[in-house]
Amino acid sequence: MKRNPAIPYIFIMLIGIALVFFLSVKGLGDSKEIAKENKKGDAKQETPAQSGGKFDPEGFAKSTCIACHGNNLEGAMGPNLHGIGKKISKDEIKNVLKNGKGAMPAGMVPAENIDAMADWVSNLK
């Protein structure tokens, strides 16, 4: 009986496809879990009162927003934030920051800093 030499390669390919599928599903679950932790406040962000200074929207974006919006906020899983102030109003930006929209969870920005963050995001060029 003659064996087909392609069978081991097909088997390895199927294992690889299954592994990629499993890891992508696991990654989605992990991102939802992280969002829930942020919403509950488990992931502590320094507020101006804690840091003894003024809220830094750019620093906050670099530590929090880049996960979904990309390193330069140019868009990744989330939309490109550059020029967003020309597309939607500052009040709409505040609403998204407060209540979330689509895959973005509510409460990512502390309530006392929403105005400063919305102003900064609306002025991104």
Q: What digits encode the pLDDT tens for the residues 67-89?
A: 888 888 888 888 888 888 899 99
Q: Indicate the number of domains in the chain.
A: 1
The whole-model pTM stands at: 0.57
Q: Could you please report the per-residue DSSP string of the chain?
A: -PPPTTHHHHHHHHHHHHHHHHHHHHHHHHHHHHHHHHHHT-S----HHHHTS---HHHHIIIIIHHHH-TTSS-SSSPP-TTHHHHS-HHHHHHHHHH-BTTBPTTSS-GGGHHHHHHHHHT--
Average pLDDT over residues 55-64: 88
User: Where residue 27 sits, what CATH number does that domain have?
Assistant: 1.10.760.10
In a domain, 80, yes or no: yes
Range of the domain at 24: 7-122
Question: Does 48 have pLDDT greater than 60?
Answer: no
User: φ and ψ at 30, to 5 degrees?
Assistant: -65, -40
